Amino acid sequence: MSETTRIRLNAPYLLLIGTESRPTFAKTAMGLVQWCPDKVIGQLRFEGCELDLGVPDVSVTEAARSDCGSLVVGVAPVGGKVPDSWWSVMEQAARAGIDVVSGLHLRLDDHPGLVAAAKAGNARLIDVRIPPADLPVGSGKPRSGRRILTVGADCAIGKKYTALALHRALARAGADATYRATGQTGIMIAGEGIPIDSVVADFISGAAEVLSPDNQPDHFDIIEGQGSIFHPGYSGVALGLLHGSQPDGFVVCHDPLRESVSGWPHFGLPSLEEVMDAHVRMGQRTNARIRCVGISVNTSSLSTEDRATCLKQLARQTGLPCVDPLIDGCDAIARHLLDELTGR
């Protein structure tokens, strides 16, 4: 498959947070600092910005001198728009030959001044949420290598974080592993990927195949999940990703206190057993060997004592490693994978 089927970003990154002082709306920038600090050259803040990512303050001029690869819009404000004053900074970066990267709903190409600046500086304008144009329909053909997908009963339940933590744990254990990003923040962290939730429905499974191609027999692709097969609005993207990924194993991301679909309170959530069984049944359509390999649990709302009890109960209930990746990491799941799937 052509390499042009993936978005590729040039590092290092300069993170544009402008005047944004609320951490909630700067999660993209904060995620990049947390998960790929080696790719971050600094932050670009405007006067009055009180948020500090803990990296150097760098101007566009300084970034250009340091061979900065990309100016990344590191915020996700309500409505997906940025103030008018930010465009002049993006134009300055593009004119200096620095790619401009955005994961917002706006389109960089819709701003003539920025387009002209990018042309003058031979820089790219990259809208991460726009998928490649040459994606195929899924074939369902078996592929070499091993693939692990993060899934859940709902959205916003830890699929990206779990995939990143599991990839880190496997790398620490000496395994050959690659994190496969399917959302805008994950793509910026990895430096490449496909925004699965923006792909036309007919091509979702094909995009997943492109994202995790044939590989060495013991290579692990850790694929970031999207949506949920149980979600009344976003089940389509999750099922297409499940079939196209053809995972050998999946990790269920679980919130023990969540009782209904977030934003859809009239839809209750299935039990953990239902989640595991449904993914096995549907996943067997393209990989008969699929199995659940671990449970990633969000215990942030539990006391220390209740957290320990919850994890022990879930481990007894499922017979699988159960961890909170924020506290425990995913080393236990990584060890289970290496023992069960590779015989190490």
**Would the pLDDT of 4 be above 50?**
no
Residue 342: the pLDDT is 62
CATH topology for the 3-127 domain: Rossmann fold (3.40.50)
Quote the mean pLDDT of the chain: 92
Is the CB of residue 138 less than 8 Å from the CB of residue 301?
no
CATH entry 3.40.50.720 includes domain 146-341: no
Per-residue confidence at 7, pLDDT binned at 50, 70, 90?
confident
Domain with CATH 3.40.50.720 in the chain: 3-127
pLDDT in tens, 290-299: 999 999 999 9
252: which strand partners? 151, 295
**Would the pLDDT of 5 be above 60?**
no
What is the mean pLDDT of the segment spanning 153-173?
95
Per-residue confidence at 1, pLDDT binned at 50, 70, 90?
very low
Residue 6: the pLDDT is 65
What's the residue count for the chain? Answer: 344
Write down the residue that tokens 């590092």 correspond to: 11
Query: Which backbone phi and psi does 328 adopt, to 5 degrees?
Result: -95, -15
pLDDT in tens, 20-47: 888 768 888 998 999 999 999 999 999 8
Domain with CATH 3.40.50.300 in the chain: 146-341
Residue 319: the pLDDT is 96
Residue 341: the pLDDT is 66
pLDDT in tens, 266-290: 999 999 999 999 999 999 999 999 9
Is the CB of residue 154 less than 8 Å from the CB of residue 230?
yes
User: What does the DSSP assignment read for 213-240?
Assistant: ----TT-EEEEPP-S-TT-TTTHHHHHH
**Would the pLDDT of 106 be above 90?**
no
Residue 20: the pLDDT is 83
Q: Calculate what percentage of the chain has a pLDDT beyond 90.
A: 78
pLDDT in tens, 293-343: 999 999 988 999 999 999 999 999 999 999 999 999 999 999 999 987 666
Is the CB of residue 103 less than 8 Å from the CB of residue 188?
yes
What is the mean pLDDT of the segment spanning 197-204?
93
**Would the pLDDT of 56 be above 80?**
yes
